[in-house]
Amino acid sequence: MNAIETPPDLAARAGSLSDRAGYDESFLGPVVPLPMPSDPAVETVVLPYTHFTVVHRPDRRLAAATAVCIDGANLLEDVRRDDAWEFDPRLPESQQAGNDIYRNNPLDRGHLVRRLDPVWGSTAEANRANSDTFHFTNAAPQQDIFNQGKKLWLGLENHLLDHAAQFDRKLTVMTGPVLHDSDPPYRGIQVPLRFWKVAAFIQGGQLASTGYVLDQSPDLTRAFERAMAGAKPGDPPPLGPFRTFQVPISDIVQLTSLNFGPLPAADLMPVTRAPAERWKQLESYDDMVLQS
């Protein structure tokens, strides 16, 4: 990026984040690197926070990926929620999707790193992590309707932590939007229609991983056609219901063009069916494949 003169107050705010260590690639023991674009021509900015890191795409004004370390045995559950969303002062505001994207419409600021996931350690550390999750770099537009698919998506980390309880209750979770060229434009950004999540943990002494996709693509039904026909210029794109799938991590690699290091090889969901058939829609957590 070209150098931009930074106002003194912005420089001070940026300096307040200078001590953030971010995601720890060795948190689980085996090295699990940040997911990064396979194409070196894709520009990203790596932004460390408390216990998590955002890999930001300035051209899309959204994250390409996030990665968080979750220490389930030391989570603090009584940290007060802080809904004061802020721009990250380390980036120009023009490269971030701020409140204008979410105002007066049915779009939520969907946390990519879930608020409670990095909230562990000392009280000061946990509070800092809590506040850090409320940067616009850690949000992406999602449908505001709460349904079973979204409930499953939001609770995945809890379920995986419970599964990991027999080991050391540590997870690393990577999450991001699927940034596709065909994503519908709205207020200066393109709204992602799918989101991905990859979890890594130790099982039986070995690195294990699972992958998931949240799909909010609009249903191609008459209701969708009517919504499109009645849409006014500048209206947000109609989004469909949340559908949560467990998918092979190799498919997420194909969807995102991100490098997930050792995680596709450690995937507990074997690739045994044709691509169109192997996505497993989750109706409950009992449907998840957690044993190879």
Q: How far apart are CA 237 and CA 102, in angstroms?
A: 13
Pairwise pLDDT comparison (216 vs 176), residue with the higher score: 176
Beta bridge partners of 36: 259
The pTM is what?
Answer: 0.89
Per-residue confidence (pLDDT) for residue 6, from 0 to 100: 46
Residue-range domain boundaries for the chain: 8-287
Q: Is the pLDDT of residue 4 over 50?
A: no
Other C-beta atoms lying within 10 Å of the C-beta of residue 275? 12
Q: Over the stretch 73-116, which tens digit does the pLDDT of each residue have? A: 999 888 887 778 999 999 999 999 999 999 888 888 989 999 99
Per-residue confidence (pLDDT) for residue 5, from 0 to 100: 46
Q: Is the pLDDT of residue 49 over 60?
A: yes
| Angle, CA 175 vertex, CA 170 and CA 178 arms, to 5° | 160
Q: How far apart are CA 125 and CA 116, in angstroms?
A: 12
Beta bridge partners of 211: 198, 247
Per-residue confidence (pLDDT) for residue 231, from 0 to 100: 58
Q: How far apart are CA 262 and CA 216, in angstroms?
A: 28
Q: How far apart are CA 113 and CA 128, in angstroms?
A: 14
The DSSP annotation for 77-112 comes to S-PPP----B--TTS-GGGS--GGGTTTSSEEEEES
Per-residue confidence (pLDDT) for residue 93, from 0 to 100: 96
Selected from 3.40.50.460, 3.40.570.10, 3.40.50.970, 1.10.3720.10, the CATH number assigned to the domain covering 8-287 reads: 3.40.570.10
Q: Over the stretch 140-196, which tens digit does the pLDDT of each residue have? A: 998 887 677 888 898 999 898 888 766 678 999 999 999 999 998 999 999 999 999
Under a CB-based contact definition with an 8 Å cutoff, are residues 14 and 90 in contact?
A: yes
Which helix (H) or strand (E) segment holds residue 250: the answer is: helix 249-256
User: 9 pLDDT band (50/70/90 cuts)?
Assistant: low
